[in-house]
Amino acid sequence: MNKKVILSSLCLCIGFLVVVLCSSAFLPTHPPVKNSSSHNKKIEIQKPVDSGWRQLFNGKDLDGWKMVGPGSRYVENGLTGSHGGMGLCYWTREKFGNCVIRVVYKMEKENSNSGFFIRIPIEPSEAFMPVYYGYEVQIDNHPETSGEDEYHITGALYSISKPHSKPGRPGPQWNVMEITLDGPRTIVYVNGQLVTDYTEGDPAPSRKFDYEPFRGLRPNYGYIGLQNHSDNDIVFFKEVAVRPLTIK
């Protein structure tokens, strides 16, 4: 083979090699293939946080509640209101202690009278046994209208405890009352402000009226209930919830 043929063939080979190398620079690149096991990894779904609150009033009916005494309660538009009185609608299924009870309510008028009962020692068959032997966490922003003093104001244990503050809102604004039952201690916040901090055996004033509760110790666990006072004093409740005390 002569030198010209050899040189020509060599040039063709070099040229082909240059074309291949240059074209490879423009080939698309691909990310490395991940291990197939990564595709089998489960996706964790965030579950809603359990607030711990258990609703006792379902907003539809009075399932679990029972009326004693005069008057009645009804449910409408997610709220429970009342007719007549004075009566009590109590939760029948258990007693409560060492827990926090949240009550959300509003007054029909600028001021209306009602109450939330706690520490009722036995299942009530009429309205006044809870008045005398349990505690009423009062709902009444203007007790002076009835000739009563500050021991009868919203958030106080009716006629028993002197209020630390008076944060009750007039109707039709909503109020949030949180009642802590911690053994023999009762703590009441209304709209985020402390009203009552009372422990069994703390001093209490003498009874001024014959319809006030008798003095004496209450049980750590008791029934709870909503008061209906009269047709002139209507308070609407939209939530009654309970949760255990937080373990410290």
What pLDDT, on a 0 to 100 scale, did the predictor assign at position 50?
57
What pLDDT, on a 0 to 100 scale, did the predictor assign at position 178?
98
Query: Which residues does 107 contact at the CB level (< 8 Å), separation at least 6?
Result: 139, 141, 170, 171, 172, 234, 235, 236
Q: Which residues of the chain have pLDDT under 70?
A: 1-50, 247-248
> Can you tell me the distance from the alpha carbon of 155 to that of 102, in angstroms, rounded to the nearest whole number?
12
Residue range 115-148, pLDDT digits in tens? 999 999 999 999 999 999 999 999 999 999 999 9
> Can you tell me the distance from the alpha carbon of 85 to that of 8, in angstroms, rounded to the nearest whole number?
118
What pLDDT, on a 0 to 100 scale, did the predictor assign at position 49?
52
What pLDDT, on a 0 to 100 scale, did the predictor assign at position 246?
79
| Neighbour-count burial for 164-196, b at 16+ CB within 10 Å, e otherwise | eeebbeebeeebebbbbbeebebbbbbbeeebb
Beta bridge partners of 221: none
Does residue 32 sit in helix, strand or coil? coil
56 is written with which tokens? 């006792």
pTM for the whole thing? 0.80
What pLDDT, on a 0 to 100 scale, did the predictor assign at position 38?
44
